[in-house]
Structure 1
Amino acid sequence: MPRGAGRLSLFLLFTPFLLWIVLLIVLPQIGIGYVSLREKVGINQYEFGLKNYLDFVGEPIYRNTLLRTAWMSILVTACALVIGFPVAYYIAKVAGERSRATLFLMCLIPLWVSDLVRAYGWIVLLRETGVVSSVLLRLGIIGEPVEMLYNDVTVVIGLVYTVILFMIVPLVSTLQGMDNALLEAGYNLGGSRLTVFRRIIVPYAMPGIVAGCIITFMLTAGSYLTPILLGGKNSSWFTEQIYNQFITRYNWEAGATFGVVLLVFTSLVVWVGLWVTGQSLATTVAKD
């Protein structure tokens, strides 16, 4: 194929992807950043400045909500890693070729329905008159119906259920590339299961671990429906603050500011995590 034709084919191949990136990600982010720098001084009169950001810093409830969202997102990511790693290892190294596809399909089933339907499914299970409370009541384990919704534990359970697939997939992809001879060598040299896991499996799977943690953390921090529906009035999630500014208060400048702050803060947490683990984006999400 001539060089010019090859370049044209490559350009046409990447054009939809570039349009998607530019039109749906880059330009909206630029627009949000532009709105966040506007300060309303009158009717349809604006000045540019950092007042919106200063107002955010000066309001403790906004700062505390952001920190709480980050902490809860880290907790959900850790739980997803603890639950997802054994599942990913079984799929990658223990399950046979035929059963591997079935196990992947079972992991994909929750994504067949929307976040809203999944959240209401948890409500049906955990509400005071729900399935779990009714079963426990009939078994005599509890004396009266128990309300299991509207607390942090329920929010964590719902979020882990929502994002765990995005932890499993990078781990499976990484662990499938590990040669079984490495494990055999570890055992032959006298290593226990814990030693082999700590010295061989975890270091080899670290790119997949970091990639899965990045994806699940960003999805959790940006989640809206699950924390609101399962946490109820007791939920304090930063995306709710963004929603209230845009929709309830019609304060687009503050809402845009909160959106930029959330993006910058979560990106900072991700970069700190990469620095602590000694990884980089080139060896995790961009790994060949």
Structure 2
Amino acid sequence: MLRSDTGKLSLILLMTPFVLWIVLLILLPQLGITFVSLREKIGPRQYEFGFGNYIAFIQEPIYWNTLLRTAWMSILVTVMSLLVGFPIAFYIAKIAQRRSRAGLFLLCLIPLWVSDLVRAFGWIVLLRETGLISGALQYVGLVNGPVEMLYNDVTVVIGLVYTVVLFMIVPLVSTLDGMDNSMLEAGYNLGGSRLTVFRRIIVPYAMPGIVSGCIIVFMLTAGSYLTPILLGGKNSMWFTEQIYDQFITRYNWEAGATFGVLLLGFTSMVIWLGLKLTGQNLASTVAKD
């Protein structure tokens, strides 16, 4: 009896911080934002509840075009992160010696030692027209004048991939590390080529890690603010900038809350579609044995 009570108390003590985190920092703020988004301003400090803010969003093409553009760019960054991160994760998990894995993983963690702001300004130092790359190109004679490589979609994608690729590598390494090497040997012994083994064995086994990494990267990218704004400039057209403008510049908290709810709902729908297309679910993806 005493052991049972002790186990229950331990479980409560372990779960309490997690529950408080979910309720106080995620659930209640989101409910508050949803509440504000349903308020329609009809006069000074006069509000009524309705869906007018959502209707206004649909009726303004620049808003939902920006949302669709952000989603498309986020999907592109997710695909690029997968293409870059998968070979790195496979090398760390299956090829590198066990003693060197920790060092390789540490190298992947180095970019997280500095903030997003510092990393974004690092790219600015490299890519601006008076930056290091432009100066090097002029020095070797490949160009005749300064080259501005900032403020375009390519730069934004590169900066975002650099920022989020680690969050693709970590779940992939965790998944691939559990794959028995005998599965690969059996595939080769049965006459499979490298492409066949990769397509029929490695990818299906790594699918939970792929999906979980894609979910994390997509959500982080869609919700990113600093990198698109600093590297994309006025041409960034990122949805989080629209949210910032509504809250901070226009003091329109109702519209800003509406945009926030729509961003969460839209990205959740994209993730749901991705899970359906890949035949995965959150239970098998997040908590794979």
| TM class by smaller structure | over 0.9
Name 2:42's counterpart in structure 1.
41
Secondary structure at 1:2 match in 2? helix
CA distance in 2, matches of 1:105, 1:196: 29
Q: How does 1:1-288 map to 2 (within 5 A)?
A: 2-288=3-289
1:42 Cα shift?
1.2
CA distance in 1, matches of 2:198, 2:63: 41
CA distance in 2, matches of 1:136, 1:238: 34
1:287 Cα shift?
2.3
Secondary structure at 1:284 match in 2? helix
CA distance in 2, matches of 1:281, 1:266: 15
1:77 Cα shift?
0.2
| Residue type of the alignment partner of 1:264 | G
CA distance in 2, matches of 1:31, 1:183: 51
CA distance in 1, matches of 2:65, 2:39: 24
CA distance in 2, matches of 1:273, 1:90: 26
- Stretch of structure 1 that moved more, 11-20 or 257-266: 11-20
1:286 Cα shift?
2.6
Gaps of 5+ in 1: none
Runs of 4 or more, structure 1, over 4 Å off, are: none
The number of equivalent residue pairs is 288
| Residue type of the alignment partner of 1:46 | Y
| Residue type of the alignment partner of 2:17 | P
What do the CA deviations read for 1:46-78 (whole angstroms, capped 9, x no partner)?
100000000001100001000000000000000
1:198 Cα shift?
0.5
Secondary structure at 2:141 match in 1? coil
CA distance in 2, matches of 1:285, 1:224: 26
What do the CA deviations read for 1:109-131 (whole angstroms, capped 9, x no partner)?
00000000000000000000100
TM-score normalised by length of structure 1 = 0.99
CA distance in 2, matches of 1:6, 1:186: 46
1:18 Cα shift?
0.7
| Residue type of the alignment partner of 1:208 | G
1:204 Cα shift?
0.4
